[in-house]
Amino acid sequence: YASLYFCCAIEDHDNELLTLETVHRLVELLDKYFGNVCELDIIFNFEKAYFILDEFLMGGEIQETSKEQVVRAIEDADLLQ
């Protein structure tokens, strides 16, 4: 993931493969928005990175599975700013 490291805290009964897929989907979304995301993108645009995470996850559960819907919501929010 281009020098990015992720740490996930999950419970014993949670599915590890689903957690890996969730992290992978988050990286894909960040890549789509930032274009080959790196740690500097997250450091200098942490508000946008958190917004992308909030559009994708809510309360630790996947809120939206469609990458296109998440990207559309992010683009709509960018238009309002």
- Give the whole-angstrom CA distance, residue 69 versus residue 81: 19
For the segment 38-76, what is each residue's pLDDT rounded down to a tens digit?
Answer: 999 999 999 999 999 999 998 888 888 888 999 999 999
Query: Could you state, in order of their start, the residue ranges of all structural domains in the chain?
Result: 16-80
Question: Quick one: fold of 16-80?
Answer: Beta-Lactamase (3.30.450)
pLDDT of residue 81: 79
pLDDT at 1 over 80: no
Nearest to 29 by CA among 4, 59, 7: 4
